[in-house]
Structure 1
Amino acid sequence: MDNVNLLVIVTIISLFISLFLAFFLITVKTKYKVSNGLFAAFLVLNAIDISEPLFNMIVDGPSNLGMFRASFAFLQIPVFYLYIISVCYSDFKLKPKYLLHLLPFLIANLALLPRFYGVDTASKISFIQNRQSMVEFQFNHILIHLQIIVYIIAVFRVLRKSKKLYVENYAGKSIASYNWLFQFTVVLSVLYMVALLKNILKFSDYPHVSEVIKIVLLVSSLFIFCWYLFKALNNPGLFRNIDSKLKLVSELVSEEKSSGLPVADEREYNEDLLKLKKYMAEKKPFLNSSLTIQDVSRDIEIPVRDLSLLINHQIGQHFYDFVNTYRIENAMDILKDTTKSKVTILEILYEVGFNSKSSFNTAFKKHTGSTPTDFRKSLKISGL
């Protein structure tokens, strides 16, 4: 079987799976309709992009429809960027300002209007045959490269800020969700870089290498999309708690410094710190697995802004780690209690406010230097 036939077969399979997953995301009942819709749109755009071999079999020669189909590649990465924002922030809504992301797509098509869209078939053929010397083609080629690089950087900036906001304001679900979202973005970025290499080789002296890379990309992207959707659909609530109106502590400190006011009043901080520690010890709010800094702020009547500065800046701990410290101390007390030797590690982690074994083990080892199981064994050996 030659590369062309193999490419057609893989394209058909990829199209079917991509469109099937997109249909599923649009029709499944969920409160995350916007996120699902954006990822479905990303899959559809990907399907349009990979449909080139089939499209060329149906349409003979260059056409306006064929060129317009190819230009949809300019919409893929902006839609993915909006999807990442929608996943990270619970209050995300589609706004008219997001239409600005259409600009590269519109500019690319406008550049082709005079000498491709607006001419006869013979001129279109000449344009394609001499594409390497055509200014419009070179411009669009550079534009999509720049677009991909800019948007990938923007996606990683969103993820980085989201993680910081999460650990500074929340102590609920594990931030492992950030890790696999980050991993997915890294892998997708690699795919885009390889796709750019494919495009470069396509118009070089090695077009056959480009076809092989295309097959590898099609198969790889299918596995990656299926893996990601499996993770996302099995963990629909992960990493969707962040309010976009929240500010990073570094921003709050910078604002106070620029306003000419002292960053903190030491006496006031000491009073708030005593109130916070008393509240954590007596009320044990950390037992709530979905605890947020807003919850603590409301209970002890300290503004969220001041409380965030107190914990994240003055104490020097993220809210996530601050709360987990109390949870681990509580877990250690249970492990030391000989009357509770029959209580399993899984029961303990849920009892003290964790909701996953991996996050509990990570936090416990960070705090004590050993895993909960090893800690319990060491107690038995020492006779405690």
Structure 2
Amino acid sequence: MEKIDLLIIVTVISLFISLFLAFFLVTVKTKHKISNYLFATFLILTAIDTSQTLFNLIVDGPSNFGMLRGLFAFLQIPVFYLYVLSVCYSDFKLKPKHLLHLLPFVIANVILIPRFYAVDVASKINFIKNYQNSVEIQFNHILIHVQLIVYIIAVFMVLRKAKKLYLENCAGTSISSYNWLFQFTVVLTILYSVALLKNIFKFSDYPYISEWIKIGLLIFQLFIICWYLFKALNNPNLFRNIDSKLKLVSDIVLEEKNKEELAVNEKEYNEDLLKLKQYMAEEKPFLDPSLTIQDVSKGIAIPVRDLSLLINHKLEQHFYDFINTYRIERAMGILKDVTKSKVTILEILYDVGFNSKSSFNTAFKKHTGFTPTDYRKSL
């Protein structure tokens, strides 16, 4: 099969799936509209970038529209960054300040005005033929790779903070959404790293290698989109988020130290701890799969800040692990009960406050060293 035929086939399939998923995300009824719109935009931008092979078949020679189409790549990673923010934080809203993310895209276009956008077709052709010696093209390639590195680092920092905030304030099973989004970001990082390698070869003495890498990237990108589609359809409730106004316990501790207020009265600490344990034993709030530290705070009339310090700092446990300990202890009790030997593991995990088999197995093994099935067999 000719290389051009393979490129066309892969491009058409990739475009179809990308645009189909984008249409699905925009039209599906959900409360996570901003996240869906941002990822749909990311998919459309990716489709525009992918469409180069088809575009070259339709349009003969360089054009302003063709150059603009290529430079839309500058918008991909900023939109993905905003998408990650919208997934992680429930109070995320698009604001005028987010227009600053357009700056690299604007710069990349502005520097091309004198020698490309504002000249005739013949000059455009000459500019493209000598792209390896073009200062503007080389600058744009450096700019997009610097942008890529900065945004990828920023995405990982957002995910790291969001996951830690979730562990300190929530006890649902939504932590899997952050784990998956982390995996997705790693895969995208690999994809963009390979694209960087492709561009290095493009400006070397071996430009044909760049073309073969391009085919590989298209196929890899196709698999990524299919992976995302599979996840989205099989886990429609995967993505849940937290309030961005929440503070990390480490930041709270630092603030308290600066105010010299961290030395809590030992008697007060013991009273709060006793009240917390009594509440957990009597009210069993851990049976709620979507329990948050705010819910417990209301239940025992202890401010969220103080409760967060009590659990996350004083007890040296994330709220997530603290609540799961109670769930696992209850699950162990059911597993030990001979009268409930016919109760399935799935029924038990739902009964004790989990809503995911994988998170239940992980928490149970972390707590006991056994899987629930092995634990039951060992009794």
TM-score where L is the length of structure 1: 0.95
| Aligned twin of 1:382 | none
1-side partners of 2:322 and 2:36: how far apart?
Answer: 33
Q: Distance in 2 between matches of 1:53 and 1:186?
A: 27
Deviation string, structure 1 residues 44-83 (Cα, Å, up to 9, x no partner): 1011101111111222222111111111000000011111
In 2, distance between residues paired with 1:203 and 1:319? 52
Q: Give CA deviations for 1:172-210 in whole Å, capped at 9, x if unaligned.
A: 124222222111110111001101111221232222221
Of stretches 295-304 and 180-189 in structure 1, the one that deviates more from structure 2 is: 180-189
CA apart distance, 1:375: 1.3
For residue 296 of structure 2, what is the aligned residue in structure 1? 296
Residue 196 of structure 1: aligned partner: 196
Q: 1:108 to 1:87 in 2, by over 3 A?
A: same
Paired position in structure 2 for 1:127: 127
One-letter code of the match for 2:141?
H
2:72 is the counterpart of 1:59:
no
Instruction: Give the conservation status (yes or no) of the 8 Å contact 1:3–1:211.
Output: no
Residue 342 of structure 1 aligns to a residue in which SS?
coil
Q: CA deviation at 1:264?
A: 3.3
Assess if the C-alpha contact under 8 Å between 1:173 and 1:239 holds in 2. Answer: no
Return the offset for 1:268.
Answer: 1.9
Q: Percent identity?
A: 77
| Structure 1 letter corresponding to 2:329 | E
Q: Does 1:42 align with 2:52?
A: no
Corresponding residue for residue 338 of structure 1: 338
1:253–1:263 Cα contact (<8 Å) kept: no
Moved more, 345-354 or 335-344: 335-344
* 2:146 paired residue number: 146
1:134 positional shift: 2.1
What is the Cα deviation at residue 263 of structure 1? 5.0
The reply on whether 1:180 has 2:187 as its aligned counterpart is no
Distance in structure 2 (CA, Å) of the matches to 1:147 and 1:310: 41
Give per-residue Cα distances to partners, 1:111-140, cap 9 Å, x unaligned.
Answer: 111121112222222222222222211211
For 1:367 and 1:258, the matched residues in 2 are separated by 36
Name the stretch that deviates more: 234-243 or 76-85: 234-243
- Partner residue, 2:364: 364
**Deviating more after overlay: 239-248 vs 323-332:** 239-248
Matched residues, number: 379
Report the Cα offset of residue 165 of structure 1: 0.7
Q: Corresponding residue for 2:209?
A: 209
1:227 paired to 2:231: no
- Contact 1:331 / 1:349 at 8 angstroms: preserved in 2? yes
Once the two structures are TM-superposed, the CA of residue 278 in structure 1 deviates from its matched residue by 0.8
Contact 2:87–2:241, Cα closer than 8 Å, also in 1: no
Q: Which amino acid aligns with 2:235?
A: N
Give the Cα–Cα distance (whole angstroms) in 1 for the partners of residues 60 and 374 of structure 2.
Answer: 69
Give the residue type in structure 2 aligned to 1:376. R
Write the distance in 1 (CA, Å) between the matches of 2:196 and 2:139.
15
Deviation of the 1:352 alpha carbon: 1.0
Letter in 2 for 1:226: C
Rounded to whole Å, the distance in 2 between the matches of 1:259 and 1:357 is 44
CA contact (8 A) 2:22 2:39 kept: yes
In structure 1, the residue matched to 2:17 is 17
**254-263 or 210-219, which moves further after superposition?**
254-263
- Give 4+ residue runs of structure 1 displaced > 6 Å after superposition: none
2:67 counterpart of 1:70 = no
Closer, same or farther: CA 369–67 of 1 in aligned 2, 3 Å = same
